[in-house]
Structure 1
Amino acid sequence: MRLLRSARFPALLLLVAAVVGLVLANSPWGDAAQAVKGTYLTIPGVVELSVGHWISDGLLAIFFFVAAVELQYELTSGRLNSPRTALQPAIAAAGGVLVPIGVYLLVAGGTEAARGWPIPTATDIAFALGVLAVFGKGLPAGLRVFLLALAILDDIVGIVFIAVLFTSDVDLLRLVLAAVGLVVFRLLSRVLDTSTRPLLIVALVVVAILVWWLVLTSGVHATIAGVALGLVMAQQPALRARHAIEPWVNAIVLPVFALSAALVAIPAVSPTQLSPAFWAVLLALPVGKIVGIALAGAMAQRVAHVPGAPRLAFGDLLAAGALGGIGFTVSLLLSELSFAGDAAVRDQATLGVLAGSLVSLVLAAILVSWRAWHHRRLSITTV
């Protein structure tokens, strides 16, 4: 369990799972794997989802619950518990969303691929923190917190895009009932703050599943339920729940999603025949994220600097920008949703996510290693 709570090992699992999915999709067993992914698993009268949707709508909601709990802690009791400190990563996140969108539309604007503009807006938390842990020994603690807040805010923006752009025929009654369920969940979690009775925990789980089902069947993407539950849960029970769930998220949820999303057949075409969606994502993730996060982060430290708090150097912001370009989890989900009706373009956009994230990963490893060496040298000099 200790290994699964580290930042390095889960990132390695994600990478291996994605490689396995890509290799499997391009092997003689590719069609069989796609058939399994498309197989429907039904709970009669309750829900009917394919294996792929159980993964992206069900398992991924658990991941977003864990991420939302961490964000809630940082915003209320952590390093981002004042408006000025929270504003810095928020401004950087805005740059890390808007500039990649601009780069994407610069390449794919005016084509059918333009509707994929939300794809390069997200940052993969597990991958980014994993690279930071592997190559970032000696970096200031503030950079990790800055990156964590930035990545979570990026992902929440992605989830908002999912809720707004990829939702149709919303059942308002079910959404209202889900909101009522959230209130009940909040109240039960407050009771759990002073009591750990097993029946109370069972009741919380049942209410959480009910909220997830109501959001799913309302027409809104079900991962929204995970975010909402993580944000409304009382803090101490939420942190205990996160501690218990995190190893399973790292060992099962994220690798299974990475394998499923990476089940993409590489098209046997020349580079000139690839969709603009591929090239747009490939450029927007590494280039758009580095430029957007570094410039917006530098501006944020000028307009929202907290007196006495250490500033991140521009080189540190460049490293954070490169880490932000590792889109992966939510970018893969956005790719599936953006081109749900066009499998060929969807697969090429997914390849763009994988390739762009790989380029960002390599750049991040170089920049993080450089900044870590720089800070270690400074610490030796000051001693």
Structure 2
Amino acid sequence: MKLTKTFKSFFESEKAGGLLLLFATLLSLGLANSSIQTDYIQFWNTEIGHHSITHWINDGLMAIFFLLIGLELEREIYKGELSSMKNAALPIFGALGGMIVPAGLFLLLNFGTTTQNGAGIPMATDIAFAIGVLSLLGNRVPTSLKIFLTALAVMDDLGAIIVIAVFYTKTIAFINLGIALSVFGLLLILNRMRVRNLIPYLIGGVFMWYFMLNSGIHATITGVLLAFAIPFGDGSKSTASYTLQHFLHKPVAFFILPLFAIANTCIAINLDWSEGLSHSNSLGILLGLVIGKPLGIGIFCLLGVSLGLCVLPKDLKWGNIIGAGMLGGIGFTMSIFITLLAFDNAEVITNSKIAILIASFVAGTMGFVWLKFSLKQK
């Protein structure tokens, strides 16, 4: 099986982006626990226009990240691995298991408590980190495993978007929501009228983001809606969708996501930080990402194949699927993002972030070691 140029470009971009994310995280943690700790943390809390710098990154720049996710998802649905039900079925089953089982394990420990709202945290997979770790294994990784993990992570992102929209919307300002959706409808009309110039869509996207921000629904959802309003056409290099997707890859991978990582991992780790890991919330995150992800992905894929609803690629073994499931436990970006939506308590947020970092490190290490020994050297 040969990789298409678009997929190969995407894979290489996420590979480099994952390594940069790791560096940004370590740098931020180091500075947050150095002699400049107070000034460093205060900088990210500096208010600009009634919102902190971190808030602008999370609600503003991350909308661009979700725009890219939407464009990639659209391409996968129309022309990529999700365009064929035969190819899409296995990662779809895996993604479902990788969301349901971790959330179930989290709720097993947190149902009925003040932290039950965090069930969405261990459902997420960080595509950049997961592919970054997989890339360290070099040419021993079968093409079908790269495609499976990427499609799985894309479906996972879709699931996270739905979870954010449905479960993390507290109050709705219907007038603002109506205006935002009206702008979206107008952009869809422009699409149907075959308006191919990107400028009207980008201007409309800014207005849609503003009213969505003030509607109560998280503003980053705007990015996904805008992606599906932008003309896809035949998906060729000359189309608006391809042009924007290609343009956004590097700014997102090398600026927006590292900036998000730096701003959201400036965590002052106290001497008693390990005590927070014994809380049911932290245990739920650790259990969900490290155990729930590979268990859910493996069981649901096996179920799908056993029922004849999907097929395991010939060059893959079940051990490879389990290894990919372990890498799926690298939550990081999306897990931290959902944490910020789920909780208001600063201590709970800090404990959750520490649990996410530890779980992602353990899951990534386990996945790397497992696949290193289960994949034959070419």
Q: Which amino acid aligns with 1:317?
A: I
1:188 Cα shift? 4.0
Q: Which residue of 2 aligns with 1:379?
A: none
Q: Which residue of 2 aligns with 1:45?
A: none
Change (3 A) 1:227 1:311: farther
Change (3 A) 1:319 1:265: same
Checking the alignment, whether the CA contact within 8 Å between 2:89 and 2:310 is kept in structure 1 is: no
Aligned partners of 1:56, 1:270: CA distance in 2, in Å? 25
1:102 Cα shift? 2.1
Aligned partners of 1:306, 1:14: CA distance in 2, in Å? 34
Q: Which amino acid aligns with 2:265?
A: A
5+ residue gaps in structure 1? 43-47, 377-383
1:9 Cα shift? 1.8
Checking the alignment, whether the CA contact within 8 Å between 1:335 and 1:349 is kept in structure 2 is: yes
Please give the residue correspondences for 1:1-383 in structure 2 after superposition, counting only pairs within 5 Å.
6-42=13-49, 48-188=50-190, 200-235=197-232, 236-269=239-272, 271-272=274-275, 274=277, 275-305=279-309, 310=314, 312-340=316-344, 342-373=345-376, 376=378
Aligned partners of 1:332, 1:240: CA distance in 2, in Å? 30
Checking the alignment, whether the CA contact within 8 Å between 1:101 and 1:120 is kept in structure 2 is: yes
Q: Could you say what secondary structure the match of 1:35 adopts?
A: helix
Change (3 A) 1:226 1:105: same
What is the CA deviation profile of residues 292-339 of structure 1, one whole-angstrom value per residue up to 9, with x for unaligned ones? 111111222333546796474211211110111000001001112222
Q: Could you say what secondary structure the match of 2:29 adopts?
A: helix
Aligned partners of 1:232, 1:323: CA distance in 2, in Å? 32
Q: Which amino acid aligns with 1:49?
A: H
Aligned partners of 1:344, 1:119: CA distance in 2, in Å? 16
Q: RMSD of the alignment, in Å?
A: 2.5
Q: Could you say what secondary structure the match of 2:267 adopts?
A: coil
Change (3 A) 1:88 1:176: farther
Q: Could you say what secondary structure the match of 1:373 adopts?
A: coil
Q: Which amino acid aligns with 2:177?
A: L
1:131 Cα shift? 1.5
5+ residue gaps in structure 2? 1-8, 233-238
What is the CA deviation profile of residues 210-253 of structure 1, one whole-angstrom value per residue up to 9, with x for unaligned ones? 11112111110011111111233222311211101110101110
Aligned partners of 2:14, 2:120: CA distance in 1, in Å? 27
Checking the alignment, whether the CA contact within 8 Å between 1:185 and 1:204 is kept in structure 2 is: yes
Aligned partners of 1:186, 1:246: CA distance in 2, in Å? 24
Q: Alignment length, in residue pairs?
A: 363
What is the CA deviation profile of residues 148-189 of structure 1, one whole-angstrom value per residue up to 9, with x for unaligned ones? 222122222222222223222212222222222223334445
What is the CA deviation profile of residues 185-220 of structure 1, one whole-angstrom value per residue up to 9, with x for unaligned ones? 344456777x5xxxx333222111111112111110
TM-score (norm 1): 0.87
